Amino acid sequence: MTSGLWAVLFGVYATATVVQLVVWWGLFARLAFRKPGLLAPETLNVTSLPPVSVLICARNEAANLAANLPVVLGQQYPKFEVLVIDDDSADNTPLVLQALQKKYTHLRVLHSGPKTTPGKKQALAQGIAAARYEHLVFADADCRPASALWLRHMAECFLKTQDVEIVLGYGPYRSEPGLLNKWIRFETVQTATQYFSFALAGQPYMGVGRNLAWRRQLFQQVGGFAAHADLPSGDDDLFVNAAANHKNTAICLAPEAFVFSEGEKSWRNWRLQKKRHLRAGTHYRLRHRLLLGLLALTHVTHYFLLTMLLLTDFGIISAAFYAVRMASALPIHRKILYQFREAHLLIWFPLLDAFLAIYYAVFVPRVLIYSDDLISWK
């Protein structure tokens, strides 16, 4: 290549790097250095907390329900019900639920009929209609709240202002040995960093169904899941994308309100899970797709051009840009990782951040281009 072309490539590299720095300090720093603005549950007048319905959609989840549902049922909250929607299970799910109902009077079970649409939206819509209370909190059968204060923290967010109708919670994965688990947890932190930071900037665009709350009235106003009923996923992020705005959305980042899940045990299963999630993202509002695409594109451009420029006359200054980028990213991500109780991932940040570029450049395009095997949720 000519020196002029290398200069152009360096200009593109420098621009991508600067864009990333602007996003981190202008957007992600809002999350990293935020100050909690709500009362702690122990100082809150419990009479002001609204009654809530916890909805869990389960399909062949007997073992997970037996292990995790007692923690949900044992929440320290003045008035709530837990409604489990049995989505046409073929295992011992009904027997497990019957046994738990004998011990917990606030546990209700709704048996959904034969499935006629992909995913769990049909069953979930039935549960939303059958719930006793206006304020709905969602979790999955394989999830376990970090503490008995989960519901109190989530419900407290509805009291921030009279406009709040959606509460975004955090759903981390349990720490286990192995590179796959580290990658799953890191990618989960990156996704959460984006959607929490966007929400703080007045642009909420998604939430995760394993820790999410909203008011039923809002669900009815946007037409429920009708706009994306044919998709097997999106009951969480596509609903939030359609219904959330800068006034009606709050975030809950109290560690006691985290809801933990187990990560996939194989790369193949993780790949299939991500396919469902990424395909739903293609239905986000245009401005959200453009912003998220810009983040991914500049991330890939930074690493791709860095590897090309290091062996040229621009090698030293390119390495300097990388060093500045990393020096800027580390303090922000350190604060975020501590907030998400993932501080031990910090030492892995340089490697996993580079791996994220490969993920954006190779895996994501393949999922979005090839339309094979849209998989049911169970």
Q: What is the pLDDT of residues 337-378, one digit of tens each?
A: 999 999 999 999 999 999 999 999 999 988 777 755 444 555
Query: What does the pLDDT average to over 177-192?
Result: 96
Residue 45's pLDDT is 60
Q: Give pTM, 2 decimals.
A: 0.92
At residue 44, the pLDDT reads 55
Assign domain 41-270 one CATH number from 3.90.1150.10, 2.30.42.10, 3.30.70.270, 3.90.550.10.
3.90.550.10
Q: How far apart are CA 48 and CA 215, in angstroms?
A: 16
Contact yes or no for 41/150 (Cβ under 8 A): no
Residue 117 has pLDDT above 80, yes or no: no
Position 148 scores a pLDDT of 97
Q: Quick one: tokens of 138? A: 């969602």
- What letter would DSSP give residue 262? P
Summarised one tens digit per residue, pLDDT across range 52-86 is 999 999 999 999 999 999 999 999 999 999 999 99
Does residue 120 register a pLDDT over 60?
yes
Which of 32-36, 112-116, 146-150, 254-258 is predicted least confidently?
Answer: 112-116
CA-nearest of 228, 238, 231, 210 to 276 is 231
Lowest mean pLDDT among 97-101, 229-233, 284-288: 229-233
How are beta strands 166-168 and 144-145 bridged, if at all? unpaired
Asked if 225 and 118 touch (Cβ cutoff 8 Å), the reply is no
- pLDDT for residue 370: 72
Distance CA 34, CA 246 (A): 17
Write down the domain spans for the chain: 3-32+287-369, 41-270
pLDDT at 39 over 70: no
When pLDDT is cut at 50, 70 and 90, the band that residue 287 belongs to is very high
In this structure, the number of other CB atoms found within 10 A of the CB of residue 114 comes to 6
As a whole number, mean pLDDT of residues 207-236 equals: 86
* Mean per-residue pLDDT over the chain, rounded: 91
Which pLDDT tens digit goes with each residue over 317-337? 999 999 999 999 999 999 999
Pairing, β 135-140 against β 52-58: parallel
Strand boundaries in the chain, DSSP class E: 52-58, 80-87, 107-112, 135-140, 144-145, 166-168, 212-215, 249-251, 259-260
Which carries the bigger pLDDT value, residue 275 or residue 314? 314
